[in-house]
Amino acid sequence: MSHQNTIKPYIPSLLSWYEQNRRSFPFRENPTPYMTWISEIMLQQTRMEAVLPHYTQFMKTFPTIQDLASAPEALLLKTWEGLGYYSRARNLQKAAKIVVEKYHGVTAEGLVESALDKVRIIEELVIRHVP
């Protein structure tokens, strides 16, 4: 039996369960690739309850990737305080600088969003039409 055939019977139940039980998080409401990226990095080895207040403050302090890239390290680390693993914050800023510099101050969010849209379309097609 193929992997797709094994999973297919569970897809409607899983989607239904998710719709009934999903929790609301700020990075799920009108998400951007930047918001998702920040939440994913923050949630590495950290509980959701610990991340949420920090995420909200982080997004207020650094609402764009350009703001993150140009921030003084002291402000970045102060904003990250309480999440631990400070190398994550430093590496996040290094990556933000690369994205901003490589794209001449324009984020790659449009490229990422376009790719995510394509993935969502493919997922929907697979979910609805897997034999």
Cα of 37 vs its chain's centroid, Å = 3
- Cα–Cα distance for residue pair 81/93, rounded to 1 Å: 15
The pTM (predicted TM-score) of the whole model is 0.68
Residues 6+ apart with CB under 8 A from 82: 50, 54
Active site residue 40: yes
Name the catalytic one among 40, 73, 123, 124.
40
| Tens digit of pLDDT at every position of the chain (131 positions) | 566 678 888 888 888 888 888 888 877 787 888 888 899 899 988 888 889 999 999 999 999 999 999 999 999 999 999 998 899 999 999 989 988 888 655 554 555 555 666 666 666 666 655 44
In angstroms, the Cα distances linking 58 to 35, 52, 78, 113 are 10, 10, 10, 21
In this structure, is the dihedral angle defined by the CA atoms of residues 18, 55, 109 and 87, taken in order, positive or negative? negative
How many CA atoms does the CB half-sphere of 13 hold within 13 Å?
4
